[in-house]
Chain A
């Protein structure tokens, strides 16, 4: 098991390198450089050339890339052009906030989706099932940012029971953090819940039609034991893939949600970086995302080997 993890971690390196190369390439080939943006349309060519030289942007691409990788290994992801602060430090400081929102939304969606999805599958084709599928359809069609605005309207503006902006970490202020993370988590979580519910239901229906469920029934094993033990474990296997996908999706959705709720996370950082064409920020954040996604993939794969005895590592 440990050697498997070690092997996977080693495999991360080329993937990350490829990711950085891709991001690097995209940013530097894009029209309009960061310096032009910063200086505005009235900057003279000299000013721009001067700034580019200072920032090292006039060197050949490959040289820039090698320097970047070299610095990256030493833990230096560059400094934000706008604020001058080191990117890596900012990312590390912001990460827990994003983590809090993502974790809460995953918890929320799992808690909501599992019982509903399983029950809808057990009562396949009943009224409960139809209602569930309608709910799924609505949840999947609702944009998360709009839901966020609606929720803010109801809870923060009209009823004023939940805070509007900012979010303390749960490690510092448990209740406050929870209250502040609630609306962002639900906004993001609604879509995730719908997708999760739909998948759980689908997989459960598939599992319940399998021969081993019929065998268990054939020997008189009680209904709940069949559902919660025999069926559930088989359902968890494909659902794990989805959960991994959702976590990765969640980081992306976090960009929008953090912007609305003014949460100082890495998503907001990315958006700010994009809007101000602050390429070290964009580069660094995308790299951080790549790292996080690889970690999530690894966790998903390891979970697989635990759940499914047919898989050998």
Chain B
């Protein structure tokens, strides 16, 4: 089966003192094996929460309100906690955003990686315990693979002794060591300087090309998606609004929000003088918006947008869009 992951109508709320706040309203997309799929959207649009829901790492204040996640043919919400936990580190793993806070400051890199590998192997091999097996060599090898020099020395060091870029590579190494089928990378380059960013991007590209790992890349950086991903899913305010292959999306964005995103980036082709930002700003999470979530900021808004919420429909083969008027726009997005 080529579809590794399929999300359908996912909705997640957070229970706070002031009431329930929806973080994810209606997200649907599919991830194909061996490909790199990008999840793109502004900060706070719910992409990280989506990732955590897939992994089953939501905090206790979160509630999945509706939807389904099917992973390798298995309905994740139908599984018990133990089974879900068994999937983590073996079938699916996550590269977290902030490497400094993702690593335990009081244990060495080697120790943390060792525990993770041990946990993964014990479940994968099913031969009982893996005591006595020395994973150090494997770990050192993987550290080398992700571009860390003198891995044996690094393994004996603590997270605060490594640079930001190195810490990020360690997180990537951890995910790779688990030999998972699905790797979710949450903002892997945010907070790094440009040089290091480029290196990490190259590393990821390298890994995706050489192995059959399926990568779900979460970012707000459109250029990252352009460089690395085969398919893109655009999220706005907790709902997926467009899903297409990277090439088609950049060539001819259908949804007004996507178009707005493209227009607000500087490219070599932008010679028109002024950038066109999307008007307005993202409304607060608690604000209820009737009809289409994007309609207050949409340049082509009309009555039906205020009244009803457009469904995510397949407008071309392999392409979905949630807008009533996607087909009536010209190529460069000007109405």
Which A residues fall within an 8 A CB radius of B?
124-125, 209-212, 214-222, 225, 229-230, 233-234, 237, 307-310
Distance A215 CA – B88 CA, assembled complex (angstroms): 10
Say which residue of B89, B101, B178 sits within 8 Å of A210 (CB atoms).
Answer: B101
**Which chain A residues lie closer than 8 Å to B160 at the CB level?**
309-310
Distance A309 CA – B90 CA, assembled complex (angstroms): 30
Q: How large is the interface on B (under 10, 10 to 19, 20 to 34, 35 or more residues)?
A: 20 to 34
Which B residues fall within an 8 A CB radius of A?
55, 57, 59-60, 85-90, 93-94, 96, 98, 101-107, 115-116, 119-120, 123, 158, 160, 171, 174, 178
Known: A211-B98, A309-B158. A218 touches B93 (CB 8 A): yes
**Which chain A residues lie closer than 8 Å to B105 at the CB level?**
212, 234, 308-310
* Nearest-CB residue, chain B, relative to A230: B104
Say which residue of A125, A216, A237 sits within 8 Å of B115 (CB atoms).
Answer: A216
Say which residue of B89, B102, B107 sits within 8 Å of A230 (CB atoms).
Answer: B107
Counting from the closest, the 7 A-B pairs by CB-CB distance are: A220-B89, A211-B101, A219-B89, A212-B104, A220-B88, A219-B116, A211-B102
* A309→B89 contact, CB < 8 A: no
Known: A211-B102, A215-B96. A221 touches B158 (CB 8 A): no
* B88→A217 contact, CB < 8 A: yes
* A221→B115 contact, CB < 8 A: yes
**Which chain A residues lie closer than 8 Å to B60 at the CB level?**
124-125
* B123→A212 contact, CB < 8 A: no
* B98→A309 contact, CB < 8 A: no
Say which residue of B57, B98, B103, B106 sits within 8 Å of A218 (CB atoms).
Answer: B57
* A221→B116 contact, CB < 8 A: yes
* B158→A310 contact, CB < 8 A: yes
* Nearest-CB residue, chain B, relative to A207: B104
**Which chain A residues lie closer than 8 Å to B85 at the CB level?**
217, 220
**Which chain B residues lie closer than 8 Å to A209 at the CB level?**
59
* B174→A219 contact, CB < 8 A: yes
**Which chain B residues lie closer than 8 Å to A221 at the CB level?**
89, 115-116, 119
**Which chain A residues lie closer than 8 Å to B90 at the CB level?**
220
Known: A211-B98, A212-B101, A225-B115. A218 touches B88 (CB 8 A): yes
CB<8 Å pairs between A and B, sample of 21: A124-B60, A125-B60, A211-B96, A215-B103, A216-B115, A216-B116, A217-B57, A219-B119, A219-B174, A219-B178, A220-B86, A220-B87, A220-B89, A220-B119, A220-B123, A221-B89, A229-B115, A233-B107, A234-B104, A237-B106, A310-B158
Distance A217 CA – B102 CA, assembled complex (angstroms): 11
Known: A218-B88, A219-B88. A212 touches B102 (CB 8 A): yes
Distance A220 CA – B120 CA, assembled complex (angstroms): 7
* Nearest-CB residue, chain B, relative to A212: B104
* B106→A309 contact, CB < 8 A: yes
Q: How far is the CB of A188 from chain B (nearest CB, A)?
A: 31
Say which residue of B55, B88, B103, B119 sits within 8 Å of A212 (CB atoms).
Answer: B103
* Nearest-CB residue, chain B, relative to A125: B60
Inter-chain pairs besides A219-B88, A220-B89, 12 sampled, C-beta below 8 Å: A212-B104, A214-B102, A219-B116, A220-B90, A225-B115, A229-B115, A233-B106, A234-B104, A308-B105, A308-B106, A309-B160, A310-B105
Q: How far is the CB of B123 from chain A (nearest CB, A)?
A: 7
Q: Which of B55, B93, B102, B103 has the most CB of A within 10 A?
A: B102
Q: How far is the CB of B147 from chain A (nearest CB, A)?
A: 20
Q: How far is the CB of A50 from chain B (nearest CB, A)?
A: 65
Distance A225 CA – B171 CA, assembled complex (angstroms): 20
**Which chain A residues lie closer than 8 Å to B93 at the CB level?**
218-219
* A218→B119 contact, CB < 8 A: no
**Which chain A residues lie closer than 8 Å to B120 at the CB level?**
219-220
Distance A307 CA – B85 CA, assembled complex (angstroms): 30
Q: How far is the CB of B102 from chain A (nearest CB, A)?
A: 4
* B88→A307 contact, CB < 8 A: no
